[in-house]
Amino acid sequence: AQSVAQPEDQVNVAEGNPLTVKCTYSVSGNPYLFWYVQYPNRGLQFLLKYITGDNLVKGSYGFEAEFNKSQTSFHLKKPSALVSDSALYFCAVRDMSGGSYIPTFGRGTSLIVHP
């Protein structure tokens, strides 16, 4: 079985400060991991994914995420937050050894960047 947790419903950060949105996962085998962003009244947009290789993955809009196998985490980061980064962020996981190729999504974390 595969599952993903986003332990924070909301993250508040000041513009210009670094931001982190947390994600932890549980799989039987190795994971495929994804981050998506949803701006108000929009569908989800892909940010980045980890399949294999380097643990640090770089994505769109200056975001990056670090895969940590020992901590089963895939936290999303950005060195300097912008007000326009305010949105809902979803982490998703798919177990490489699982029978289903459908990813499981977390409940989402609302990021609020204050001017």
Partner 1 sequence: DVKVTQSSRYLVKRTGEKVFLECVQDMDHENMFWYRQDPGLGLRLIYFSYDVKMKEKGDIPEGYSVSREKKERFSLILESASTNQTSMYLCASSLSGGGTDTQYFGPGTRLTVL
Interface with partner 1, residue 103, by CB under 8 A: yes
Nearer Cβ to partner 1 (44/81)? 44
Q: Which of 30, 46, 69, 71 binds partner 1 (CB under 8 A)?
A: 46
Q: Which of 34, 63, 67, 74 binds partner 1 (CB under 8 A)?
A: 34
**Binder among 54, 70, 101, 115 for partner 1 (CB under 8 A):** 101
**What residues have CB less than 8 Å from 36, skipping those under 6 apart?**
44, 45, 46, 47, 89, 90, 92, 105
